[in-house]
Structure formats: structure tokens, C-alpha cells
Amino acid sequence: MILACCAVLQLASPPGGPSAQAQTSPTRPPQKYEALGREILGELIAINSAGANGTTVAAGAVAARALAAGFPAADVQVLAPAAQPNKGNAVVRLRGRASERPVLYICHLDVVEARREDWTFDPFKLTEQDGWLYGRGTIDMKGQVSAVLTSLIRLKQEGVVPARDIIAVFAADEEGGDANGVAWLLKDHRPLVDAGLVINHDGGEAAIKQGRKIFLGVQTSEKMYLTFSLETTDKGGHSSRPTAENPIYRLAAGLERLGTFRFPVHLTETTRLYFTRRAALETGQVQSDMRAILASPADPAALERLSSTVETNIQLRTTCTTTMIEGGHAENALPQRARATVQCRVIPGESADSVAAAIGAAVADPKIAISVLSPAQPAPDSPPTPDILTKVESITRAMWPGVIVLPQMSAGATDSIYTREAGIPSYGIDAMFDDLDDGRAHGRDERIGVTVFAEEIEFVFRLMRAVSGQ
């Protein structure tokens, strides 16, 4: 076991001290735990856990907090692969009173790179300004990590003994790298993290539109990440003697055909529920179209209109897009090779072979070779069961009346793909409400609202109690 501790960063309270609202608001935790969550967030933001820096220091900070809160040493571990000791993962267990399989919460400690010269503020120092908390990881996902850890500590200090064990994993390399913590723990330490249900606060989407909270997503599935190489070659020659076989032109023509291709519409149980509920948030033509595509047969005109908007198109079908292109070797030589990288996000249930065949048919050129660069890792959908949706809806109604709970299929990737592949139903649930028109995850001046962060702490606490049988 690796234990790495770090100094606790003491954050100043907001001007004037914590407000009375933090103590009395029905959507915020007691002031003691709001302050604790803020302190933990500041400590974690100050730890640069991007890329090669690794996550062991951050994992050690999480472990130190749990131990200081009274968790026994046997229930707090920091583990890392022997060959990569800087890729540490913290595992904290709150013991329950029954033999039912535990609930596993998965979070990641790594963040994407951030350069000081790109930011208004130091990305690795939690900064409050105008009601916002700025720092790398505030929204993805050290904010959620802080809420999960704070909620575990609150349950422990309030003497709550859940009906089933609660396990929280704070893992490495979700953002990329070769030491993904969730995958490694499932492979090498399965008994430590084995569970009957997974909650992933990195999944789901809580949305604000024009200043109003509109929906809270429950991610039950995600598209598969699949990348292809498209390549064509020729003998080349002197640039003064051009030919019609120029690989760059050939590849460009094929990519142009691919760019206009749309995969067939493929609605799953999750996306049908998504459009059913999302329609209630819309008005006019959009509302009518969302309802019309659920009919049998679907209205082609409605499908066409929804396909023209990125947000809805990605819920309707598999998508593939060219992300990189290269070709040629000298300015005065005909190219001998041209290659493109095509990145796909595949609807669960569709195969890599079927996607490759569709790409081949779209480019319509047998001289363009198609090969897999990054294979798909298939994972089944987790059923959008009434049990899990009812619990989330009950908490959501109590905290934010009028906010709709939406089952979702994520277009991006999360660590739930590993737990689903391992046979554990997994749900992405997060109440870190973010502006649909100003999302800053992975970007410059990443931030989260002060009130939103406080409400996330309270939401996670209530969810833990509800899901674990309290």
C-alpha cells in the first residue's frame, strides 16, 4: 500500500464569512460541511494531477482526510501499479449493516493540462470571484470528488450506518494514460471494489439554460469510442509531372463523401426515454419533432430537423468525423501516401465491423484502406430502471422543483464503460449544474458556481443515503 500525504490547504472563508443561507437553505448542506467541502476542493485543486504528474499525491490527500475523520486504516487504501507508483488510487469504504452487495462510487483525480498563460487565474489555486469558483478540475471532476469525500465524512461523523457498504474509488487516468485506475482495480483488486451498483458522478449532465436549471441527467449508457485510419498510397514522382492518382486528392474526395454521410437512426431504450422527457422542456416545432420521431414510423421531416442540431443528432445515431490528416513528404514530390484519422462514437449494440463497412461504403473507393487505430470497448446499457430513476427524481424534486430527470446516453466516454463491462449496472448521476452555452470543462478558466458546488455536496449526501438504503 502506498500512502502519500500532503499539507492541508486552508482556504479563507468568503467575505463576511459563510452566509446564514449555508446553514438554513434546504438545498445546501450544514455550514460545517459546506466549509469542509470547500476546503477539500481547494486542497485538491492545488495538487497538479495532470498527465505525467500522476494522482498519488491527490489520492494520499483523500486518504489522509478519511483517516482524520475516523475511518479505520483497514478501510482506507491507496494503491498503484508497481510499475507506475505515481498513478495512485484511493479506496474508502463505509461499512454497512447488511450483506447486500455494496454501492460503488467512482471518481477520477486526474485533470487535463492547464497553462497559466492561458488562464485569467492560476489554474492550480482555487479562486473565488463574482460567485464563481475557478480552478482546473472544479467541474471535471475535483468538485465532485470533494462532494463525495465530504458526504462520506458526514455520514461517518453523523453515525449513519447504511444498509449496505458504500465504497468510493478516487482513481487515476480517466482523462487518458495507460494506468486507468478503475480498470486496474477491477482487474487486479476486484474483491476490494466489487459491488452490486455503481454511481459515477462524472457521468450524467445537470443543465442550466439562460440562468435556469432545466434538467438533471441519469447516464445509463455511453457511446463506444472507436478510431479508424483511412490511408491511400501511390508510387509518387516529381511534382512537375502530376497524375490523377495523387493520394491527397483521392483521400480528400473520399473524406468529402464521408462528411455528407449519416448513419441510420438508432434509438435505444434510454434515448427513447430521453426524447420523451426532453420534449416536455421544449416548445413549438422542436417539441413536436421530438414526439414525432418516437412514432412508428418516425416522421422523416422531424428526423431531418433534429439531425441538423448537434445536441440532438448525437443522440439519434452513431457519428464519425475526421480529426487528423497528413500526406506527402516533400514540396517538390508527388505524395506517396495520405492518411486520415476518423474518430467515431458508436451507439451501444452496433459493432465495429458494421461501422467500418458503413465508412467503406461512404468513401466508395477500394483504394482507400480502412484499419482500426483504437478498438472499441463494448459495454452494455444499464437499464433505466424505475428504482434508480425514482430515487433521483425524489431528491431532485425536493431540492429543485420543476427540474426534470432525463435518462441519457453520453456521447463522450467515462469510467463507467469498465464497470458495465464487468457486469455491474452503472449510472452517471451528477448535480453539478453547468451552463449548456458556456461549458468550460477541459477549457480555459474552468469554473463552477459557489451555490452550485454547495448544492452538489448536499445532493450527493442525499443520494448516498437513498441508494444505500437509508
* Residue 406 in domain: no
- How far is CA 185 from its chain centroid? 19
pLDDT at 204: 86
The number of residues making up the chain comes to 470
Strand partners, 202: none
Please state, rounded to an integer, the average pLDDT across all residues of the chain: 92
66, 136: one domain: yes
Averaged pLDDT, 207-232: 94
Please indicate, yes or no, whether residues 361 and 452 belong to a single structural domain of this protein: no
Q: For residue 103, give the H/E element and its range.
A: strand 103-108
Query: Model confidence at 11, in pLDDT bands (50, 70, 90)?
Result: very low
Residues 131 and 267 in one domain: no
Asked, for residue 170, whether it belongs to a domain, the answer is: yes
> Which residue, 374, 394, 427, sits at the end of a domain?
374
Same domain, 227 and 122: no
- Give the three-state DSSP class for 264: coil
Question: Residue 470's pLDDT is what?
Answer: 66
Query: What does the pLDDT average to over 328-345?
Result: 97
Strands 237-238 and 333-334: antiparallel
Q: How far is CA 463 from CA 385, 410, 420, in A?
A: 16, 21, 20
Residue 280 lies in a domain: no
What pLDDT shows up at residue 14? 34
Question: Mean pLDDT lowest for which of 255-259, 367-371, 383-387?
Answer: 383-387
Q: Is residue 467 pLDDT above 90, yes or no? A: yes
CATH number at residue 336: 3.30.70.360
For the whole model, what pTM was predicted? 0.87
Q: For residues 380 and 89, which has the higher predicted lDDT (pLDDT)?
A: 89
pLDDT at 245: 94
From residue 225, give the alpha-carbon distance in Å to each of 205, 350, 417.
Answer: 19, 12, 10
Residue 1 has pLDDT above 50, yes or no: no
Give the residue from 323, 357, 374 where a domain finishes: 374
Q: Identify the helix (H) or strand (E) that includes residue 59.
A: helix 56-68
Least confident of 6-20, 125-139, 234-248: 6-20
Kindly state whether residues 100 and 176 are assigned to the same domain. Answer: yes
pLDDT average, residue stretch 430-457: 92
Phi, psi of 434 (to 5 degrees): -130, 150
Res 469: pLDDT: 83
Residue 18 pLDDT? 35
Whether residue 138 is found in the same domain as residue 191: yes
The reply to whether 285 falls in a domain is no
Supply the pLDDT for residue 100: 87
User: Is the domain of 53 the same as that of 127?
Assistant: yes
Share of the chain above pLDDT 90, in %: 86
DSSP states along 127-167: EEETTEEESTTTTTTHHHHHHHHHHHHHHHHTT---SS-EE
Domain of residue 170 covers 21-203+414-467
Residue pLDDT, tens place only, 24-78: 468 999 999 999 999 999 999 999 999 999 999 999 999 999 999 999 999 999 9
Q: What is the pLDDT of residue 13?
A: 34
Do 43 and 192 belong to one domain?
A: yes
The answer to whether the CB of 463 falls within 8 A of the CB of 391 is yes
Specify if 408 maps to a domain: no
Q: Please check whether residue 293 lies inside any domain of the structure.
A: no
- 368, 232 contact by CB (below 8 A): yes
Residue 167 lies in a domain: yes
Average pLDDT, integer, range 361-367: 98
Q: What is the percent of the chain with per-residue pLDDT over 70, rounded to a whole number?
A: 94
Please say which residue of 324, 347, 374 terminates a domain.
Answer: 374
Cβ distance 206 to 217 under 8 Å?
yes
Say if residue 142 is in the same domain as residue 172.
Answer: yes
- Report the pLDDT value the prediction gives residue 17, as an integer from 0 to 100: 35
Q: Is the pLDDT of residue 416 over 50?
A: yes
Question: Total domain count for the chain?
Answer: 2
432 and 315 in a single domain? The answer is: no
